[in-house]
Amino acid sequence: MSQNPDPVILADYLNSNFPGGIFHAVYEAGFSGFGACRELQKLGINCSVIHPAGLPTCQKERQ
């Protein structure tokens, strides 16, 4: 399954499929992460922008 990355569409999807849910999103710092994060925050979704190296990419890194 793929999801449109537009913040409004994403927030609508989450709120309609998981009513009452508490959502947390993380974007990598970069050219689009800050704007998308601000939009999600305006739509009531907790969002942070982090350094790309801070995101684990495999199970081994998650320990």
Average pLDDT score over residue span 4-22: 92
Where do the DSSP E strands lie in 1-63? 24-28, 46-50
Supply the mean pLDDT for the chain: 85
Q: Is the pTM of this model over 0.75?
A: no
Q: What pLDDT is attached to residue 29? A: 85
Domain coordinates in residue numbering, the chain: 7-62
Q: Is the pLDDT of residue 59 over 70?
A: no
Position 31 confidence tier, pLDDT thresholds 50, 70, 90: confident
Nearest 5°: the CA angle 52, 3, 41 is 60
